[in-house]
Chains A and B, each alone.
Chain A
Amino acid sequence: MKRKFGLLPLLASILTFFLLVPLDQGLAETSAAGGQAAPTISIDKTSLNNGGLIRVTGQAPAGRPVFLEVWATDKNVRANFFDNKKNKDTGKIPYVFYLTTEMPAYYKIFAPKELQPKLDEARKEGKKWSYAKVLKDLGAEDAYSVPAAIGIDRYQATLMAGIVGSRGEKMAAMEAGENRKRSMQLLKSRFRSLDKVVGAEVSVAPDGAYSAEIKIRDGLAPGVYRIVAVVDKNTKSAPAEFENKIAFPTMYLANAGTSLNLLWPFLLTLAISIFGVLMGAGGGFILNPILVSLFPLPHTVVAGTVMPTVLFSQGSGIYNYSKIKFINWKLGVGIGCAMMLGGFIGPKLTELITLDQFKFAFGWILLVLAGLMFWQTTPGYLEKNKKEQAILKEFKKRAEECAKRGESGTATCPTDQK
C-alpha cells in the first residue's frame, strides 16, 4: 500500500505532463479544422489532501466566456429521483422512479465571475431551483457533458408495486436528450444545494486569458479529478488532472459518496446509544436525524445502516428475556408477522422521498415521541408504572430462581411458553 501511495502523485504528474504537452498540437489541429482554437489549461498542483485550493489558468479565444467542468473520475455514487410532479403537457402524474449508479461523486461547473448575479437569482428560488434552468441562464449548457452520458434506469412505479415493495416495472432506456434532462434532476437530488454543483469563479481577461481559484471542499471522494475548460460544444481543452488524497481516520464511504472522519460517527453513536439506554428508546430516533443533519450522508444510507446496528442489541435483549421465560412467543410472533410486512414495504418508501421530506416527517415523529415521553413523566403514569415495575421485578426474581433450579410447570414456575 505504501508503495502505491508513493507512486500515485508521480503517476499523476507524469500524466499531467503528457496531457499538457500535446496541447499545442491539439491547438493547431482544431484551428486547422476551421473551428476556434481549443483553450489551453494548466493547474498549479496535481494533488490535494482532503480538499484545498487549485489555481487553474489558461488561454481561451478572446471575447468568449470560459466555463470549467470539474468532476471525480474514480468514484461514482448512486442517485435516485422520483418524478411525481404533474406533467404540464399531459396533465398526468408520471410516477417514474429514476436511478443511476454512475453519478460522479463530485461534479461542479464553474462559470465566469460576471455571472454571479444570475446565481444569486437562482438561489432566491430556495429549494425549488432547477439545474437545467441555471445552466441555461448561465449559458453553460455546453459545459454540461459528463453526467449527461451516465446510464440511468427508470421504473414505472405503481401502487401495487409499492405494496409488494418493488421498484416497479423497468422501462425502456431513454434517448440522449431525455437522459441528459433526467441526469440534471438526479444531480440535484444527489447534491441538493446549488453551491455544490455550480459556482462563479472564473476571471476572463479581454484577450481570452482566464484564471480561477477552485476550492475543492473537504469530505470529498478520493481519487483522480478532471478539469476541462469549455468555451462551446466544439471548443474544449484537454482535461487537466489532479488527485484528491485522504488519510485515516478519514475514509471514503463508498455508498454514501463522502469522505468522513470516522471518529465522529463513532463518538456520536456511542453518546447517543448510552443516552438511548437511559431514556428507554433506541438510539435510532436521535441518531438518524443528527447524522443526516451534520454529515452530507443520504437519508437512504443513514436509515439502511442504522437499522442493522440495533439488530444485535435487540437480539441479545430477546435472549436475556427468553432465558427467564419473559417472552410470550405467541403474542410476539403474531405482531411480529404484521411488522415484518411493514418492514418489507418501508425501505422502498425511503428512496421515494427527498431529504427534506425525510426531515419534515422525522420532525413530527420526534414531536409525537416527545409527547409520549412527557406522558410517561406525568404522576398518573408514574403511579401505574410503579406497580408494574414491582410486578416485573417480582416475576424476574421468581423466573431467575426457577431457572436456577431448572424447574418448569410447577406451582411457582411457569410452563415453557410456546
Chain B
Amino acid sequence: MKVEFWGHEFEANMVVGCVGGFLIAIMSSMFGFGGGPFMVPLMTVAMGMPMYIVVGSSLLAIFFNTGIASIRHFQFGNFDLLLFACMFPAALLGGYLGPQIAKRVSPLVVKRVACAGLVLLGLNLLGLY
C-alpha cells in the first residue's frame, strides 16, 4: 500500500503491519497494556517506515485496540469502577507531570534504568528470584 505523508510517498507492507498488529493487539488486550513500545519497532523496523510517520499513526492504531478491548473487558465483567476512579485521576496527573520532569532528565539514563527495572520485574514474575 502506498502511503503519502507530507509530500513524500512510502511503500507500506500492510500484510506485515496487519498480522503483526493483530498479534500485538491480542497480547496487549489480554494483559491490559497499551502496546506502543511493540508497535513502534514493528512499524519502523519490520515495515521500514520513518519514525515521524510512526509516532502519530501507531498511536491511532493502538487507540482502536484499547477502545475495543476496554469495551470487551467491560462486557466480561472485568471492569471495577472504584479502582478505575482512583487510578484515572492519577494517570491524568502523571500524564501532566511526566513531560515536565522529562525535560530535566536524560532520556538515555531513564531508558537504562527502565531496562534494569523491567528485567528485575520480569524475572520476579517468572519466579526466578
Residues of A within 8 A of B (CB): 78, 101, 165, 251-256, 260, 262, 265-286, 288-290, 293, 297, 300-318, 321-322, 326-351, 358-367, 369-370, 372-374, 376-377, 382, 385, 388-389, 391-392, 395, 414, 417
Residues of B within 8 A of A (CB): 1, 3-7, 12, 14, 17-19, 21-39, 41, 43, 49-53, 55-70, 72-84, 86-95, 97-99, 101-102, 105, 107-108, 110-112, 114-119, 121-127
Closest to A358 in B: B31
Q: Are A265 and B83 in contact (CB under 8 A)?
A: yes
Q: How far is the CA of A371 from the CA of B67 in the complex (A)?
A: 28
Q: Are A366 and B121 in contact (CB under 8 A)?
A: yes
CB within 8 Å: A-B pair count: 395
- Show 13 residue pairs from A and B whose CB-CB distance is below 8 angstroms, ordered by the A residue: A270-B90, A273-B90, A274-B94, A277-B94, A280-B36, A284-B32, A288-B33, A311-B63, A340-B67, A343-B69, A344-B68, A362-B125, A395-B52
Residue in contact with B114 in the complex, picked from A279, A290, A309, CB distance below 8 Å: A279
Q: Chain B contact residues: over half helix, strand or loop, or mixed?
A: helix
Interface centre among A272, A284, A346, A348 (most CB of B within 10 A): A346
Residue in contact with B66 in the complex, picked from A260, A307, A370, CB distance below 8 Å: A307
Which residues in B have their C-beta under 8 angstroms from that of A309?
A: 84, 87-88, 91
Q: Chain A contact residues: over half helix, strand or loop, or mixed?
A: helix
Closest to A398 in B: B6
Q: Are B121 and A343 in contact (CB under 8 A)?
A: no
Which residues in B have their C-beta under 8 angstroms from that of A327?
A: 56-57, 59-60
Q: Are A334 and B18 in contact (CB under 8 A)?
A: yes
Whether A339 contacts B122 in the complex (CB less than 8 A), given A274-B101, A310-B34, A374-B115, comes out as no
Q: Are B31 and A361 in contact (CB under 8 A)?
A: yes
Q: How far is the CA of A333 from the CA of B14 in the complex (A)?
A: 11
Smallest Cβ distance from B72 to chain A, in angstroms? 4
Q: Are B25 and A392 in contact (CB under 8 A)?
A: no
Whether A307 contacts B22 in the complex (CB less than 8 A), given A253-B80, A336-B60, A388-B50, comes out as no
